[in-house]
Amino acid sequence: MSTRKRNGIPLKWNLPTPWNTYYARARCQAMFRNSFWAFTPDTWYQLWVDSGVMRHKGRKTHQYRMVRMDPIEAYGPHNCIIVSNRMHYRKLMYENTRRVPKTNFQPHHAVNYKGEKL
């Protein structure tokens, strides 16, 4: 447990202040959806650091989000990538309006894709 305090309450994870809240929110959302959570705070934070778009995390079209490549597997570093919301919305609109089979995200959709295999 961290010795830093916010409003007199010790922080649960040793992450920078806004990212501590983001991690807790993402973890609780996964639990709410009855999905397994395989991230540790450090691996989750490192995924965002490696993406290079930490400042642009959000829900707006020009921002970025974390998605699972395989929706059946757990949220974890082996299954999650960071994509732009524009790409996420484009994929949803295409699959829902054209009545094509739903496809999973691939590693080449990630913002930090360098061609290596995961």
> What pTM does this model have?
0.83
- Considering the domain boundaries, does residue 2 fall inside one? no
Residue 30: count of CB within 10 angstroms of its CB: 17
Q: List, run by run, the mean pLDDT of 10-residue segments along the chain (118 residues).
A: 62 85 94 95 95 93 95 94 94 92 90 61
Domain that holds residue 59: 11-109
- Considering the domain boundaries, does residue 116 fall inside one? no
Look at residue 114 in the predicted model and tell me its pLDDT: 63
Look at residue 99 in the predicted model and tell me its pLDDT: 86
Tokens 């010795």 map to which residue? Answer: 3
- Considering the domain boundaries, does residue 36 fall inside one? yes
Q: C-alpha angle with apex 99: 96 to 100, nearest 5 degrees?
A: 100
Look at residue 98 in the predicted model and tell me its pLDDT: 92
- Considering the domain boundaries, does residue 118 fall inside one? no
Look at residue 115 in the predicted model and tell me its pLDDT: 55
If one counts the domains in the chain, the total is: 1
- Considering the domain boundaries, does residue 88 fall inside one? yes
Look at residue 12 in the predicted model and tell me its pLDDT: 79
- Considering the domain boundaries, does residue 82 fall inside one? yes
DSSP conformational letter for 88: H
